Structure formats: C-alpha cells, structure tokens
Amino acid sequence: MKIVVLDAYTANPGDLSWEPLSALGEVEVYDRTAPEDVVARAKDADAVLVNKVRITREVMDALPRLRYVGVLATGYNVVDTKAASKHGITVTNVPAYSTMSVAQMVFAHLLNITNSVAQYTIEVKSGSWSSCEDFCFYNVPLTELDGRTMGIVGVGNIGMAVARIAQAFGMQVLAMSSKSAKALKALGIRKASSYEELFSEADVLSLHCPLTDDTQHLVNAERLALMKPTAILINTGRGPLVDEQALADALNQGRLRAAGVDVLIEEPPHNDNPLIEATNCSITPHIAWATAEARERLLTIAVENLKAFAEGKPQNVVNKRTSKPKSTSPKRTTKKK
C-alpha cells in the first residue's frame, strides 16, 4: 500500500515519528502541499492523510487508485465525502484526541483575562511594581470565578470537559445543547431555554458547537447586545461561529469586557482582521489542539484508522461505507519530502 501524507508539519513538526505508518506500506511525507501539487504527489497513492489539504471531487477524479483518505483532525470538511462515497473511497477522522487540551486552553484564556497574568507581567518588567509605594501593585480588576455563570454552546466531549472544570471553580453551568434537560441536570448543568437566555445570563460564554449553516455567526451583533458588559466570550471552536466585526465593535465600545479566541474566520488572518487590534481581545494562533500529548494521540489514532481499514474493519468512518480495500503488500519505507 502506498501512503502519502500531504501536509504533515502542523501535526508533526518533527518532535514525533511517522515510523508506525511504515508498517502498513510505503510512506511519503510532505510537510506542506499546494493545491496544484496534490494530484501529482498522490497519483500513485492508495491512501492519503491530510489535515487542511482539500480533497475535492476533481482531485478524486484524477486519482483512480485512491481508496482511503485519513483526516488528521476531527473536522473533515476538507474532503468531499459524497464524492468519496461515489468513488468507493473511505474517509476517516480522529475524534476526541484533543478534548482536554482544548478545555485547558479555554481556561488559559479565561484565567489570563480574569487575573491579567500577561498584563501584570508586562507591568512588573516595566518597573511599575518596583516604583510602587505598597507591597502589591494592581491597576486592572481581578475577578473571582466562583459563583459566576459559565454559558456553553454545545455539550459534546469538549463542552462537557469545560463544564466539569467550570464546576471545579465553583461556577454554575448553563448550556445550549441537544441533550435533554434531564440528562444535563444529572451532570449538574442547567439547560438554557433559548439563546437569548444563554447570552443574557452568561458571565462567560464558551463555544463548542459544530459549524453549520445554523451556527455560522451564532455570535452576532444582536446577541452580543444581550450580553452583560462584564461578560467574557471564549471561542476555541470554529472561527465563523463569530461575526468578527460585531465582536470587535462590542469590545471597542465597552459593551463586552473581553474575548479570548483561538480560531478566526481566515487562517492565517489578514493584518486588517478587526479582532487583531480590538480592545481586550486575546488571540492564540489555532493551537488549542496542538499540545504534544494531543498530537501524539492524533497520530496514534490515525495509524490505527488506516490499519483497521487495511484489515477490512474500518473505524471512525465519516462517509457512507465503501467496499473492502484492495489487498496490498506493505513496503516498510518512509520518505520525507
């Protein structure tokens, strides 16, 4: 089996190994692949692994040998799954590998905002504390989370992990979820009756829902107007969940205390993205998923997915089931391009 990894760098910039893949076949690894190079690099591949490289209908039309696409992520919108099914191509993803890493980033942003860790470090280094007459120095508010309301949109693996951490901080959890009120109550979570209730009551609002036509710009000017001026928005989900200009306006006009985001609509962003210069907006470059531990789980599950496919028992399949894979004889070589 010929295996081609088309954009390896973000998942594995060199601190992990692709060697386990070589037990399944001949492997070629490319750090990055431009759209115009996808077909040429994958022309002899039985299986390709991708993170953000798009595998479109046109690409599949040009790759008659291709039988498997493994997405190195949970989201799989980079693959035309309907076309893959018509071509007899199995598409898999890697679910739940980064749950705790993303939940940790939610609170990294939240604690940085409520305790002003980065700001006070700057103040100390600039001499503000050294020149202070008192034993301590503070010039921006510090906020205790205990007793506050954590609003969550989407109580899947990550949303549930965030809820548990919030509860450990003494927060009340209010959520918009497809789960029943009874099921959420058993978890100590109150189900919101509407987005209006969720946005108006939340002291912190954290987004963990899929990106769909219904959730695009879920956070818009109208809903931001419902939020408390002391509230905080955290987005580690998908960039398009938020109307970025509306959020920037709310921050700049003091109608929202702060925001912490790890995802943007355009990645990497243009320099004129309104959130980059917005007041009290902390931005990390889509790295909530990228701890070494999470990436190691990602690669391990990706290899397990491909092995299961080769053995005729595919797992984590995200399109309609296809025919069994062709029998192939593995060649144990790995080439990095």
Tell me the per-residue pLDDT of 301-335, one tens digit each, with 9 for 90 and over.
Answer: 999 999 999 999 999 999 986 554 444 444 445 66
Asked if pLDDT for residue 197 goes beyond 80, the answer is yes
The pTM score is 0.91
Asked if pLDDT for residue 70 goes beyond 50, the answer is yes
Tell me the per-residue pLDDT of 198-240, one tens digit each, with 9 for 90 and over.
Answer: 999 999 999 999 999 999 999 999 999 999 999 999 999 999 9
Q: Tell me, what's the pLDDT at 320?
A: 87
First-to-last C-alpha distance (Å) of the chain: 18
Angle, alpha carbons 182-187-189 (nearest 5°): 75
Q: Tell me, what's the pLDDT at 336?
A: 67
- Cα–Cα distance, 246 to 214 (Å, whole number): 18
Query: How do the domains of the chain map onto residue ranges?
Result: 2-97+291-336, 99-283
CB of 299 closer than 8 Å to CB of 29: no
Taking CA atoms, 174 is separated from 177, 195, 219, 232, in Å, by: 10, 11, 17, 14
Q: Check: CATH 3.40.50.720 for 99-283?
A: yes
* 238 belongs to the catalytic site: yes
Which of the residues 87, 190, 286, 296 is marked catalytic? 286
- Supply the mean pLDDT for the chain: 95
Which of the residues 148, 238, 295, 297 is marked catalytic? 238
Domains 2-97+291-336 and 99-283 share a fold: yes
How big is the chain, counted in residues?
Answer: 337
Asked if pLDDT for residue 163 goes beyond 60, the answer is yes
* 67 belongs to the catalytic site: no
Q: Tell me, what's the pLDDT at 325?
A: 47
* 267 belongs to the catalytic site: yes
Domain 2-97+291-336 sits in CATH at 3.40.50.720
Tell me the per-residue pLDDT of 265-310, one tens digit each, with 9 for 90 and over.
Answer: 999 999 999 999 999 999 999 999 999 999 999 999 999 999 999 9
